[in-house]
Each structure stands twice: as structure tokens, then as C-alpha cells.
Amino acid sequence: MKLISSSDNARFKQWKSLLTSKGLKKEQLCIVSGKKLILEILEQNLKRCQTLLFSKNQMLNDSFEQFDLERMGLDTPLFKELDELGTHQPLLIFDFSNLILPWNSSEPSEELEVFCPLGDPANLGALLRSCEAFGVKKVILLKESAHPFLPKSLRASSGSALRIPLCWGPAISELNFPLIGLDMEGTPLDQCPWPHPTRLLLGEEGLGLPRHLPSMTTVRIPMQGSVESLNAATAASIILYEWQRRR
């Protein structure tokens, strides 16, 4: 196993760029962390797995030895730079090319599609996990959205980001078709008629939904006490559960 000990190494620079949305889009690679998720990916999608990364003190303890894959070691300080989540476990470089396609607005809507502008990677990951759990057919990531393969998003999604169909969509201001959106002034969730198919739009964190969108039906989640709003991913999970319950 080769050892990288310089931060000027070209491959180290490439891998470090994967901690940013810009680097992810350019390289079409991501860093996967967590032994359980890495093992699942190696077993199910080995062809997309590029390299296993180990810190210098892990190089003699390869728990993935049954998989035929390139292995690289890094000096501990360099490995820590890539191990953004502080797992202290091997990392996997994964090729996600063509997993996120451009959204085609002319295609017929599927049973339930979610349009997502969430800019916080952890919120996005939690949302994708709920979307997979409740049978969402497609998630359209709007221009305001974080990248779903950032480390925090992958961790929060528990791998759902790699399994659920994803598309890159337009900006939230460019949506011009019937949608259901979440708003405090909307129809109570249990009274809302669900169109078929359904396109659900989430609001941006802190900003909510834009008011100018045409043909948007708004719904609200009844709440008690002084709570005015819920975390976007939590609110979406409640809505998705209600949608599934009525199917």
C-alpha cells in the first residue's frame, strides 16, 4: 500500500476538493465514511468504488481485505483533513457520475416528487432518508440546494442519497406548475386534497416559500403550544407520512 505524506500530492488535493460542492461537481467523486455504509456500498456497487483510504496507523488493519480495490495510505494529519466527520475509520472514494441527472420538465410527473431547496447538508440528508422510507419516486434538487454527496449529507441520509433517484432542477423562482407547499397559513394537512400525481415543494431554511409561485396549494401542520415551525426535514417527514397513509 502506497503512503501519501505531502499535502502537495495531486491525488490528495483532488480528494480534499471533494469536501466542497464545487469539487464534487467537477470530479463526480465523493468521500464515503462509516464502516457500515462503506461495506454496504462495496457489496452492492463495487464497480463504482475507486479507492480505499487509510490513515498511516490503520494500514495494517484492513477490514475490507476481501474486496479487490486500490488502497492508499495517508499520514495521519492528511487523513484527518479528509475525515471531516472524525470517524477515525477508513474512507471510500466513490464514483457517482450519472447518478444525478438534469431534470426534464417535459417528462410526466411521477406518483410523488419532492422539490428541494435545502441548503444545509444535514437537513438535506435527513430529508432524503425520509423520502426513501416513504416511497418518494424522485427528488429534484433545486439550485439553492446543498450537494447530496457532501459528507454531512451522506451521513444524515444513511446512504439514501446514493439510492433514491435524484435530479438537478431549476431555481425555486423558476417553478411554474402546480405544487403543494408547506405554509403556516395553509389548509390543515388532514383536510388537504392530494392531487395525483403530487409535486411537493419545501421552503428554504429561514426564508420559507416564495409568494409569487402560481398554482401552489399550501398546507400546514397543526401544532400546539408556542411552536411556530418545525425543522424542514421533520416537517417533510410528517407530510410524506400523511401522503403515504392516504395512498
Q: So where are the chain's domains?
A: 2-95, 100-246
Helices (H), the chain: 10-17, 21-27, 35-44, 76-82, 121-133, 151-157, 232-246
Give the position of cell 437537513: 123
Give the position of cell 403556516: 184
Mind listing the pLDDT tens digit for each residue in 38-76?
999 999 999 999 999 999 888 666 778 899 999 999 999
Q: Which fold has domain 100-246?
A: Alpha/beta knot (3.40.1280)
Question: Among 4-8, 88-92, 204-208, whose mean pLDDT is lowest?
Answer: 204-208
pLDDT higher than 70, residue 9: yes
CA distance 93 to 242: 37
pLDDT higher than 80, residue 137: yes
> What per-residue confidence (pLDDT) applies to 132?
96
What pTM does this model have?
A: 0.91
Separation of first and last alpha carbons in the chain: 53
Average of pLDDT values for 154-163? 95
pLDDT higher than 90, residue 161: yes
CA distance 110 to 9: 46
Q: Grid coordinates representing 44?
A: 452492492
> What per-residue confidence (pLDDT) applies to 245?
86
Q: Which fold has domain 2-95?
A: 60s Ribosomal Protein L30; Chain: A; (3.30.1330)
What is the residue type of 209? L
Give the position of cell 450519472: 98
pLDDT higher than 80, residue 106: yes
H or E stretch at 218: strand 216-220
Partner residues linked to 140 by β-bridges:
115, 167
> What per-residue confidence (pLDDT) applies to 16?
98
Q: Are strands 29-32 and 91-95 parallel, antiparallel or unpaired?
A: antiparallel
CA distance 230 to 141: 21
> What per-residue confidence (pLDDT) applies to 230?
82
Could you write out the DSSP letters of every residue in 124-193?
A: HHHHHHHHHHTT-SEEEE-TTSPPTTSHHHHHHHTTGGGTS-EEE---GGG--S-EEEEEEEEEEGGGPP
Nearest to 202 by CA among 169, 160, 244: 169
